[in-house]
Amino acid sequence: MTNQFQFSIPWGADGDLAFALGLGDVLYLFGANGTGKSSLVSLLFSAHQHIRTLVPRIRKVLDGCGFRFWPDISASRVEAFIGELRRDETSIQTCNF
pLDDT one-digit tens code per residue, 28-86: 888 888 888 888 778 777 777 777 788 888 888 899 999 989 899 999 999 999 888 88
Q: Whole-angstrom distance between the N-terminal and C-terminal Cα of the chain?
A: 22
Contacts of 13 (CB under 8 A, 6+ apart): none
pLDDT higher than threshold 70 for residue 97: no
Helix, strand or coil for residue 89?
coil
pTM of the predicted protein model? 0.48
How is 5-69 classified by DSSP, letter by letter?
EEEEEE-GGG-EEEEEEETT--------TTSSHHHHHHHHHHHHHHHHHHHHHHHHHHHHHT--S
Domain ranges of the chain: 4-95
